[in-house]
Structures are given as structure tokens and as C-alpha cells.
Chains A and B, each alone.
Chain A
Amino acid sequence: MNEAASESIPVQRQQHFRELRVFLKLVLKNPLSLTGTAIIVFFVVMAVVGPFIAPYPRQAEGVPDIANQLRPPDWEHWFGTDELGRDLLSRIIFGARISLMTSAAVVSVAIIVGMPLGAIAGYYGERLGAVIMRVTDMFLAFPPLLLALVVAATLGGSLLNAILALIITWWPWYTRLAYGQASATRNLPYVDSARAIGVGDAKIIVRHILPATLAPILIQATLDLGSAIIAAAGLSFLGLGAQPPTPDWGLMVNMGKTYFLQHWWYATFPGLAILVLVLGFNLLGDAIREATDPKLSRRRLI
């Protein structure tokens, strides 16, 4: 019996590899998605390794060097310096870590909160579902950034509060996505079968409903990672997010705008960093969406 079991495992692995290969084929053969992936990888590497290779790490953390304030880009400071003489390139490198972690935190917590709520609402339907969805709708009725602004302003400006504010703004979208999938899934015969077997509601939701809601949520999450970076940068730009001396990109753009006319590099380079990273997420997100759409992918000529 045990031999039979171990002989069958290769079949399972084969199946997983096949799916992965097909997925990768679709995603990576598209030049746009390759670019997106490359961008993201680049910034992730920057976030991880950056602090060790940044030319002026202590300046990135905030130590000023007034003598070199507002120098234009040159061989010592590739991206120039800010009003406190701190090297912009180093600060941008350190900022990558902040941006990525911020958006990862926002999106993942929003999913952790929103997905189960949506799944429960979709599975039970009727009154419980209605209550959950009405609350969700209330949150969705607010213009997103406005809600984040209000929460952040109330809590006070800090990176943590900005993250909290964005989580509060973002979770309802995932609840709605999960709700749609859950409502559809709960009518499928395999859920009925589980109920007929006598499996408890909690197990049904975890084992049968949640996995079905995962796919659209993950696709949305890839795009949201980009959006969260912009949103966080926006809050920082308005002074409601990271506070000085944190090397946050949005904060740098905020500070840089004052000096923009004569010192163009201060606002431009952080702004470019935001633009490129978000572009990367959008390109990859679109490619994933296309790759996972069953109708689109089947018809392609190889």
C-alpha cells in the first residue's frame, strides 16, 4: 500500500509542474509582462541589497551634510542632493524598501480582513450576508483617498497611521470580490456534496469557498500593490504619512516641490521611482489577468 502511494506522488508533481510551465509560458512570453517583472525584481533587489550598496547610507537615514545642499546630479551624487545635503540616490534606494513593505502590508492585511468577510457573506447570504455587504457598501461609498485622508488626519501623520488608513480604505474591495465568488461557488454541487456529507460550515468555507475566491483576489492584489504605492506616496506627499527624516518617496516629492523650479532633480527622481515601480506592477498585473482568463488563453496560436 505504501509503495503504491509513493509511486503516485510523481503524478501529482507532474501536474503541478505542467500548470506552472503553462502559466510561465503565457506570462513571460509577452515582452510587456517581462518588462514588468524585471522592474519589480529590480526594485525588490534594490530594497534587499540596496542598503549595503548605497553610497551614502547614513545620509539616507537622515544624517545631513549641509555643505553639499541642493547639489545637481554629478559624479559624487548621481541624483543630486536635497536641502540638507543628503544624497538622493541613497535615499531613493532606502525608500524602495519602505514603499514595497508599505504596499505589501496594506494589500495583505486588507485581504486578510476582507476575504474571509466576503466569503462568509457570500456563503451564508440572507441576513448575515446582507448586513456584511451593507457595511462594506458604506465604506465603498466614500471616495477612497478621501477616506484615507480623513483617517490619517485623525490618527496623526506617521507611516504606520498611513498604512492603517489605507487598510481601512482597501479591505471592502476584497470583500466584494470574495463575495461575488463565494455566492457563485456556494451553489455548486461540490459544496452541496460537502453539506450532504455533514461537513461543518466553517470547514466548508475554509476548504471549498475560500480557495475559489483566491484567484480573482490575487490578480487584483498584483495591480493593487502598484496602486497602494501611489496612495501611500500621496498621503506622504500631503504630510499625512511618513514624517521626516524617513526616506519615503512621497515625502521626498513633497519636499522637492518647494525647490522644483531651480532644483529639478529633488522632486523628479523620487517621482520617477514611483512611476516606474507602479508601471511594473501594472504591466505584470495585466499579463496575469490575461493569462488566467480561460477564454482568452485557450484560443492562442502557438
Chain B
Amino acid sequence: MPKENVLLSVQDLVVNFHTLDGVVHALDGVAFDVRKREILGLVGETGCGKSATGLAILRILPDNSEIVKGQVILEGDEILHKAENQVVNIRGRRIAMIFQDPASSLNPVFPIGKQLLDVLKIHNEATDEDSLRKLAHEKLIMVELPDPESIMTLYPHELSGGMQQRVMMAIALSSSPLLLIADEPTTALDVTIQAQLLVLLKKLKETLGLSVLLITHNLGVVRELCDRIAIMYAGSIVESAKTDRIFKNPLHPYTRGLISSVVTGRLRGKVLHYIPGTVPSLLHPPLGCRFHPRCSYAIEACKQSRPELLEVEDGHFAACYNMPKEPWWRT
């Protein structure tokens, strides 16, 4: 895979959280790449560390975190170990982020217009009111909000969830970033509104040449939207490949278990698959492969050391010593 194609490269990221209960080994060697003009889905269940990964990239982890090691390379530039005053130039400029609950990301006491203009002032050379207003209107139209003029005068609580999220996208994209990190952007929204936003995201990727790191637990959304997927479990990536490959031929037992347990009408009348056991506590994670206690394919090696993420087939990576050989049933 040519290196010029890679926009962001996360390598061997290890992050701990220091809590009252002890040290939580949240990220244990996370590694993946986001290419230019692609939507990469970072998929996992609660507690797997996907949100922490997004926060780590932008260096906005909470105070009790510790970046033990790792590298984050943005267009050849290492940013994980930069000083705070340099990271400021990346945050919100080259990499932007939107979160799950737009209502808490927007300031309830200021109208949308002011919030958007404030951000535009920071990221653009133009300083006069008129050109900034015009720019604001453009951004709002870009996220397909009707009637930008009146939207600017409204307060966040006067907008619906879907519209708030669009405003967040407009604010995030006001600096024309290279990468947008979206952490569960549609999870709190209705399914019909979600559909609208997914279509919009795809469009923006095309028109702006934007790359998106989409963090979610919704496999349906990633199948629709993402070009490639990275599956995360208990702090590390267990599998990554093109979307089609993941769904047509998942290699890692966790991926198989995860996709198998999604409930749809096609399974009507059948007993549902599930992954036995529960997600391990990251205070005292299992030794070796963190999935092995729940894995029906576990062998001795799995208990001793963590399998590396290796390229099994062209572009298809998996971290497993004993991948299932049975044909995949759910295509």
C-alpha cells in the first residue's frame, strides 16, 4: 500500500487511565491507517477504547490519562508527542471532531450564528463581518440546512437533533480539515434522520475530499457508509479490511461473533448467536490475547502472548493465532 495515500497513521498506541480503582489499560497497541478520501469505520462495543482513540489523536484525553507510547502521524508529521502549543494548530484545523450528543457540544446561551462565526474567525483570514457571514451561509448550505439566514438567529434548543448535528458538522468543517473524527454521530438520532446524515457524510467525502474516521458500534451504518473497517476489542484492533471483505469473509473470531449476533429479520425463527461471557475488565486484562477467555477457537498460544495484527490477505489484516476455518454463513 503506497505511503502517499495515507493521511493519518496510528501506530502502537498505548494509553492508560489512572483511576481510584487502579490503572485501566485502555489502549493496548492500537494501530490503523486512514487514507485520503476514505471513510474508515472504527467499530467496537462499549469499553473497547474506540472513543479514547479518537480523543488521543486530538490530544484531548482526560487529566488522569497517560500516553505510554505510540505514534500518530498526520501527513508525515508526528503529532502525538508535539507540545501543546503546536497541537493547537492541528486541533480543529487539520483534524476536527464531532460527538454523539450535539446538544451538549453547542453552547445553549448563544445563537447558532455567533457560534459558527466565532469559529470561522479563528480559522479564516477574512475579518470583516460580511465575508464571514457569507462564509457561514456557505457552510450551512454545505450541510444542507435550509434557510441559513434564519438558522443563524436560532438557539440550539430550537433546532431538532438532526439539525444540531448538521450545525456541528458545519462548525467542524469550517476550517476545511483533512480529517473528520465522528464519534457516534448518529447514535442519538432517529433512524430516518440518521439516513439523511449518512447520505450527507458520503457526499461531503466526495465534494470536499474529506477523510472520515467514523467511530461507532452500529454495524449496519458501517456497512452502508464506510470504505474500510477496523474492528476493535478491549483496547486493540483485531481485524481490518475493506468493508466488503469484512462482511463477506470475517477472519477473527470476535468479528464473526459480532456480526453473527446482529438481529435482523432474516434470522426469524432461529436462535440468535451470541458471544458468551462479558467484556473483560481493563483493570486486570487477560494475559495474551484479550479475547481468548470468550473464544471457542483459543489455543495455548493465545493465553501466552498477544497476536500481532498481520496482513493475512491483500489489505486484510487480522490478529489471531487460530482463525476459524468454517465457511462464513452470513453474507
Contacts and interface: CB of A to CB of B under 8 A. Distances in A.
B20 A297 contact: yes
B314 interface: no
Contacts of B127: none
B20 A301 contact: no
B158 to A, nearest CB: 24
B294 to A, nearest CB: 23
Contacts of A127: none
Interface in B279-294: none
A26 B20 CA distance: 9
Contacts of B278: none
Contacts of B63: 299, 301
Interface string B36-64: 00000000000000000000000000111
Interface string B7-32: 00000000000111000000000000
Interface residues of A, number: 9
Interface in A254-302: 297-302
Contacts of A25: 20
Interface in B41-99: 62-64
A299 B17 CA distance: 9
B18 A298 contact: no
A141 interface: no
Contacts, number: 17
Nearest to B21: A22
A298 B63 CA distance: 10
Interface in A13-36: 22, 25-26
A294 B284 CA distance: 23
A22 B20 CA distance: 8
A22 B62 CA distance: 21
A234 B230 CA distance: 69
B65 to A, nearest CB: 10
A28 to B, nearest CB: 14
Interface centre among A25, A26, A302 (most CB of B within 10 A): A302
Contacts of A302: 18, 20
A263 B63 CA distance: 55
Contacts of A301: 18, 63-64
Contacts of B64: 298-301
A103 B20 CA distance: 34
A23 to B, nearest CB: 10
Contacts of A300: 20, 64
Nearest to A18: B21
B60 to A, nearest CB: 14
A297 B20 CA distance: 8
Contacts of A22: 20
B51 to A, nearest CB: 16
Interface of B: 18-20, 62-64
16 contacts: A22-B20, A25-B20, A26-B20, A297-B20, A298-B19, A298-B20, A298-B64, A299-B62, A299-B63, A299-B64, A300-B20, A300-B64, A301-B18, A301-B64, A302-B18, A302-B20
Given A298-B20, A299-B62, 15 more contacts: A22-B20, A25-B20, A26-B20, A297-B20, A298-B19, A298-B64, A299-B63, A299-B64, A300-B20, A300-B64, A301-B18, A301-B63, A301-B64, A302-B18, A302-B20
The 6 closest A-B pairs by CB, nearest first: A299-B64, A301-B18, A299-B63, A301-B64, A22-B20, A302-B18
